[in-house]
Amino acid sequence: MAPLKVFVDFDGTITTQDTLEVLMQSLCEPAYRELEDKWVAGEMGSKEILPLQLPLVAGGWPAMLRELDGFAVDPTFKGFAVWLRSLDIPLYVVSDGFDFIIKHILGREGLLEGGLIAGIKTNQIDLHPDGSMTIQFPFSRADEAKPCRSGTCKCLAVESEKPAKSVVVGDGLSDRCWAGFADILFAKGRLADYCQRENLSFRNFQNFADVQSELISLEIID
């Protein structure tokens, strides 16, 4: 068994906004909203919806790239990542979003250097010369005994790393997958609301300074 590992959602957790949601609202044709409503209602999973939404993006991936520098990262996240690295605690970014968005923003912030991020587990977007996009789901779950309709099954992402203890940090609907799975869960936003409704144990946070402080107080880190 591996020791403590930390798994962090991207949209609305590392970033201050849900980048994919904002981009879709800004660039997609109106039919996007109908699909999004079905996802929020639980009628469809992201693995079904994302391939239908991609063709609706006006201007394709070049238009998305032009918007990316408008998204900010939690200013305490890099310090948190550096702190974990100093303790040799692996940090994974796990997202039901798009790899090229995540890598662009993390790279801009210098977070892909120095081994700060042990791995990125997310949906893979193939970018084509005509600006169109197609999607692959390398971290989806095919096991019928444990069905998951997300493009990236976050429980599977954690299981694949076999941590002795897992710390999970998230904020949104896609984080429901691992809410009852983590050894220690930090939640805010819609994820915190969900945990309260389902009587799931979690710790509130506003930023990664809160997470770091709480982990220190729990005395689970040598």
What is the model's pLDDT at position 147? 63
List, in order, residues 6 or more apart from 10 with CB less than 8 Å away: 19, 93, 94, 95, 97, 102, 122
pLDDT at 29 over 50: yes
Q: What is the pLDDT of residues 96-121, one digit of tens each?
A: 999 999 999 999 999 999 999 999 99
> Sign of torsion, CA 156 158 164 168?
negative
Select the highest-mean-pLDDT range: 28-32, 53-57, 74-78: 74-78
**Rounded CA separation 98/133 (Å):** 11
Q: Highest mean pLDDT: which of 16-20, 82-86, 136-140?
A: 82-86
5-218: what fold?
Rossmann fold (3.40.50)
Confidence band, pLDDT 50/70/90 cuts, at residue 55: confident
SS (H, E, C) 151-189: CCCHHHHHHCCCECCEEEEECCHHHHHHHCCCCEEEECH
d(CA 134, CA 113): 28
pLDDT bin (cut points 50, 70, 90) of residue 182 is very high
Residues 28-32, mean pLDDT to the nearest whole number: 79
pLDDT of residue 143: 67
Adjacent-strand bridge partners of 126 = 134
Instruction: State yes or no: pLDDT of 1 exceeds 50.
Output: no
pLDDT at residue 210, rounded to an integer: 98
153 in Cβ contact with 128 (< 8 Å)? no
Q: Is the pLDDT of residue 173 over 50?
A: yes
Q: How do beta strands 203-204 and 91-98 pair? A: unpaired
Task: Note if the pTM is more than 0.75.
Answer: yes
Strands 119-127 and 133-136 come out as antiparallel
Q: Identify the pLDDT of residue 216.
A: 94
Mean pLDDT, residues 43-70 taken together:
87
Contact 59, 131 (CB under 8 A): yes
Arithmetic mean of pLDDT, 8-14: 97
| Cβ proximity of 47 and 150 under 8 Å | yes
Q: How confident is the model at residue 46 (pLDDT cuts 50, 70, 90)?
A: confident
